[in-house]
């Protein structure tokens, strides 16, 4: 064997050994994902289930009988208060008003005549030309004529009211449903609902709150542990967050015995009608004031018989087991009250591959 061949063989052997050592070292250094402990605004919150309830909802009905002459809306249309929805034929009702107006004119003439007769009788009684009985009769005729005039004016008010009812109008702003009657249909007070009008803006969300949760909250507010007031958020059935916050405007004064809950209601602006009457939604009650706390990702917190702990990676990439106190967890984060400082990195992925004291290959968490 020549010298060059020996040298080449030795070099190849050393290279193979070096690669083996490097590979073995790489296998001994576990790869983990870390995230820093950071101060965030993590307000206390609770998730509940609620249902959307229209602020106003009425069935529109006919108040007088007659055939429909016009339907002045499209089903599903938004209308304003006072919009004429249906027109009932009004010929008979106009005639009734005119008839009563004629009767009133006749009654006014009769009253004027009675007044003249009374005044004439008063003049004659002064000269003893007629008896007092005739004067009394004249006074009675005036009162009778005035009473008849009052009755007829009341009848006219009733006739005017019936005439106004031939125009069926929207009592408030809202959205119309499906109509149950069309042009030519005979409608009346006994017909039933013609259409439903629903007001969607603003809108309510009602949700039950357990009495224990409500009492705990009130006690914490009284002790100054939690600020009063709450922001109300919603998550829609498709999982998206409703963009506008609501305010609580009603808390029931009674407890539902079957569920031991209290009904709470919040009001929301609903300009785009995203919230529909009857929709089931998730309600998030969140304290109104900012609350800065030290938090780590919830998956970084491990537990054993001694309590909660995290695996901390220091500047030298060495792992340390650190005992911590966790106050609460929310939105995927755990609030740490003791055991960590802001900026310290904790392992969020790969905890099962490490032990205290070893060196790791730490990569920052995405978005962390």
Residues 71 and 121 in one domain: no
pLDDT tens per residue across span 308-328: 999 999 988 899 899 999 888
Say if CB 176 and CB 76 are below 8 A apart.
yes
Question: Among 43-57, 127-141, 351-365, which is the least confidently predicted range?
Answer: 127-141
Judgement on whether residues 174 and 160 belong to the same structural domain of the protein: no
Q: What is the pLDDT of residue 2?
A: 47
Cβ 253 vs Cβ 29: under 8 Å: no
pLDDT confidence tier of residue 10, bands split at 50, 70 and 90: very low
Query: Is 19 a member of any domain?
Result: no
Residues 160 and 174 in one domain: no
Q: What is the CATH number of the domain that holds 154?
A: 1.10.287
What is the DSSP-derived secondary structure letter of residue 278? T
C-alpha span between 1 and 24 (Å, rounded):
33
Averaged pLDDT of the chain: 86
Question: 68 and 179: one domain?
Answer: yes
CA separation, residue 186 to residues 67, 68, 178, 180, 313 (Å): 4, 6, 18, 12, 82
Residues contacting 356, CB < 8 A, separation 6+? 311, 319, 320, 321
More confident residue, 27 or 196: 196
Percentage of residues in the chain with pLDDT exceeding 70?
Answer: 89
Longest dimension (CA), the chain: 174
pLDDT category of residue 1 using cuts at 50, 70 and 90: very low
* pLDDT, position 78: 94
Is pLDDT at 215 greater than 90 in this prediction?
no
pLDDT band at 226 (very low <50, low <70, confident <90, very high): low
Domain identity same for 151 and 203: no
Which H or E element spans position 124? helix 91-126
Shared domain check, 231 and 138: no
Q: What is the mean pLDDT of residues 24-35?
A: 74
State whether 175 and 161 are in the same domain.
no
Query: What was the pLDDT predicted at 266?
Result: 93
Answer yes or no: is pLDDT of 368 > 80.
no
Q: Is 155 among the domain residues?
A: yes
Residue where one domain finishes, among candidates 287, 307, 324: 287
Q: How many domains does the chain have?
A: 4
**How far, in Å, CA of 155 to CA of 225, rounded?**
67
- Decide which of 229 and 298 is more confident: 298
The residues near 233 (Cβ < 8 Å, ≥ 6 apart) are 241, 242, 245, 246, 283, 284, 286
- Please indicate, yes or no, whether residues 71 and 100 belong to a single structural domain of this protein: no
* CATH code, domain carrying 250: 2.40.30.170
167 vs 188: CA distance, rounded Å = 13
Q: Residue 81: which domain range?
A: 62-86+169-192
Pair 348, 300 in one domain: yes
pLDDT of residue 275: 95
Residues 223 and 314 in one domain: no
96 and 80 co-located in one domain: no
Q: Are 101 and 148 in the same domain? A: yes
């Amino acid at each position: 064997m020549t010298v060059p061949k020996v040298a080449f063989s030795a070099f190849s052997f050393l290279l193979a050994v070096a690669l083996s050592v490097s590979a073995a070292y790489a296998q001994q250094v576990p790869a983990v994902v870390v995230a820093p402990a950071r101060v965030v605004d993590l307000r206390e919150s609770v998730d509940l289930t609620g249902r959307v309830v229209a602020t106003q909802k009425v069935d529109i009905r006919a108040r007088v009988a007659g055939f429909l002459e016009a339907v002045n809306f499209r089903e599903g249309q938004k209308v304003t208060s006072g919009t004429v929805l249906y027109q009932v034929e009004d010929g008979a009702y106009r005639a009734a008003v005119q008839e009563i107006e004629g009767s009133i004119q006749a009654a006014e003439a009769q009253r004027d005549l009675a007044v003249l007769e009374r005044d004439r009788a008063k003049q004659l009684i002064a000269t003893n030309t007629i008896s007092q009985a005739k004067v009394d009769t004249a006074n009675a005729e005036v009162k009778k004529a005035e009473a008849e005039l009052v009755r007829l004016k009341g009848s006219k008010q009733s006739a005017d009211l019936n005439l106004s009812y031939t125009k069926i109008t929207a009592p408030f702003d809202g959205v119309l449903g499906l109509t149950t009657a069309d042009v030519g249909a005979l409608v009346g007070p006994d017909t039933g609902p013609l259409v439903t009008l629903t007001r969607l803006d603003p809108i309510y969300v009602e949700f039950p709150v357990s009495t224990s949760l409500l009492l705990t909250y009130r006690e914490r507010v009284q002790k100054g542990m939690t600020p009063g007031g709450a922001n109300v958020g919603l998550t829609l059935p498709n999982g998206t967050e409703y963009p506008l916050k609501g305010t609580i405007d009603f808390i029931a004064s009674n407890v539902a015995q079957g569920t031991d809950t209290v009904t709470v209601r919040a009001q929301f602006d609903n300009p785009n009608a995203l919230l529909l009457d009857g929709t089931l939604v998730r309600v998030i009650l969140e304290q109104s004031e900012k609350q800065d706390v030290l938090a780590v990702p919830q998956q970084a917190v491990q537990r054993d018989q001694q309590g909660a702990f995290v695996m901390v990676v220091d500047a030298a990439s060495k792992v340390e087991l650190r005992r911590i106190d966790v106050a609460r967890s929310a939105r995927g984060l755990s609030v740490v009250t003791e055991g960590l400082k802001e900026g310290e990195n904790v392992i969020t992925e790969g905890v099962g591959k490490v032990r205290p004291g070893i060196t790791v290959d730490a990569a920052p968490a995405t978005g962390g």
